[in-house]
Structure 1
Amino acid sequence: MPGVSIHIDNVTKRYGTVSVIRDVSLDIAPGEFLSLLGPSGSGKSTILMSLAGFTHPTKGVIRIDERDVTDLAPRSRNIGMVFQQYALFPHMTVEQNIAFPLLQRGMAKSEIGNRIEAITKLVGLVGLEKRPAPNLSGGQQQRVALARALVFQPPVLLMDEPLGALDKKMREHLQVEIKEIQRVTGTTVVFVTHDQSEALGMSDRLAVLNHGTVEQIGTPEELYDAPANAFVADFIGEANILSGTLVGWSDERCAIRIADGSVVEGTPIGNFPLQSETPVELVVRPRSIKLDQPKEGSLCGQVLSSSYFGESVSVRIKLAGGSEVTAKEPPTLRRVAGENLSVSWSYQNARVFQQKGE
């Protein structure tokens, strides 16, 4: 069954006086792969459990395929779900685990056999059908959980940190497989993770959450290249964040005095007062920082470390005012701890936001 739309309208969930999510609204297109990304306690899993029907919103409406499901029981929503801990039946074989939701729906044995044959091919479990679930590796168990969630052809698949228990190599391998399976089936996927690289690599769009609210929603490119605020910039990829105050500005650039008294430039983002001494944060990606020999009047710092990562070298630098920044350079350039360098960037590559709370 092809994927369907999901609409979350002003959903809030409170436990007593504590709001876990507040006025969350999301529109998810049919067949879209949307990731909910954020730190622990940001509300990701609460949104997912609300979609599944295991948690009931305090207020707001949830629609799946334009049908109001806010008050429907989980079994009435026709949703597939994959958990981090697999939740397989240990006394059953692979095919028995996969067949379970089909038996619950009263499907004929012949059709069950056809469904199992098709889904085991799709998720790479051919030859393992008779094996007891506990005798599988972690990656194989997760494939069984995925097959069981997809075998009844749900239009929506919810995934709650499904790869969190796997090692890095297996996790990266399954990321590719899950995305390909989603492409083939056309299922709408809502994927919860705190791993930004996982979300960037798999998602059509991402919703970044913080303290129960959506900070920004967009494509991976939009969130990485045009973060709406310093939190998103820091959470999506690597970012250097320097605090300071405004000392000069125009429509497209502004000057900020940072802790050591140096003045640096960036592009103002958002509607905030462009006036002297406004507290701001400047965000610049490591790849945008240029290192050179010290120059009079330039921003300077001392190399703390230089780490080789194959395709790049990560250089950590301590500025005169005590702040630290990281630059990414080609692997052919090697810096030495203690070396003094100038630090610069183009103002177009630095985004300036008003400090939170101001």
Structure 2
Amino acid sequence: MSTTAVERAAPKGATGAQRRRVGGAVVLAAVLVATCAVSLAVGARALSPAEVWHGLFAAPDPDRGLTEIRLIVQTVRVPRTVLAIVAGIALGVSGALIQGYTRNPIADTGLLGVNTGASFAVVSVIALFGFSDPFQYVWFAFLGAGAAGVVVFGLASIGRGAGNPLTLALAGQGVTVFLAAMTMAVALSDLKSLNVLRFWNSGSVAGVGFDVIWPVTGFVAAGLVTALATLPSLNLLNLGADVARGLGVNIALSRTAGIVAVTLLAGAATAACGPIAFLGLMVAHVARYLTGPDYRWLVPYAGLLGAVILLVCDIVGRLVVRPGELDAGVVVSLLGAPFFAVLVWRGKFRNA
């Protein structure tokens, strides 16, 4: 084949791959929309499509106020559906980012101590101030998650191993173990903190109103903007630090921006829902299988997959023990543990 023929064929192949990726993203978006519709319809009381439509758009009766169906749809199912989407996107994107920045295929957001930092902050403020409303302690959860991320990143940035992904993982593990012990010590000394921790640690998208969801969405949006800005340099970092530096990447700035994005995303999602294990780990591997190692595609796919999987797990949790519920975080863990075991068994840990 002549050089000219090769040059002509390459763009066609690239265009074909890009079309497949765009098509896959459109399919995932369509699945997410369909899952949202199912989420509004199922629960302790099943609703028909007509009832869901009425609950969403019918004008309220001035004499009767909100009907039962409108109450179910607007005050229960819409908020938990929106939160599942926001938290799923945040955890999916942060899971892909943390694997890329640490070059560790089994890393998840818990690696930075985000989950345990949020847990420790929650039990501490409840024990000290007696908070009971999620709107009161969600801000402390976010601050705790952010503070833990800063401490881990700071520890990993000093000494001989500064900037080394292994150093970051070790620092994260050390901070996580310490905060987990402190969390349990506080919770065991205060019954109210223990009761809140038992519910919050299971990871649930239920019972959170828009007074919490909208501020959390703002932090997630900031994290997504930061994440998208770092994707080209993240691709280069995964070629090796020397190669990236030679191509003009400011490694310290890029890693700092990445850690900030992960902390914003995972911290906001954890503050609103509690820690949800395995989600970021799972969707990062599935997204990498679908898109390859290009983080410009892998990260958006991970976000869409995270939203779909968290929403599906929430729906399953409503159905399996009706009229009761299993929290979404429990269902994700039941799905994620076998997924992780299969990855280990097949040796499919692939990073960029």
Q: TM-score range by the shorter chain?
A: under 0.3
Between the two structures, name the one with larger relative contact order (CA 8 Å, sep ≥ 6): 2
TM-score under structure 1 length normalisation: 0.22
More helix by share: 2
Higher fraction of strand: 1
Larger Rg: 1
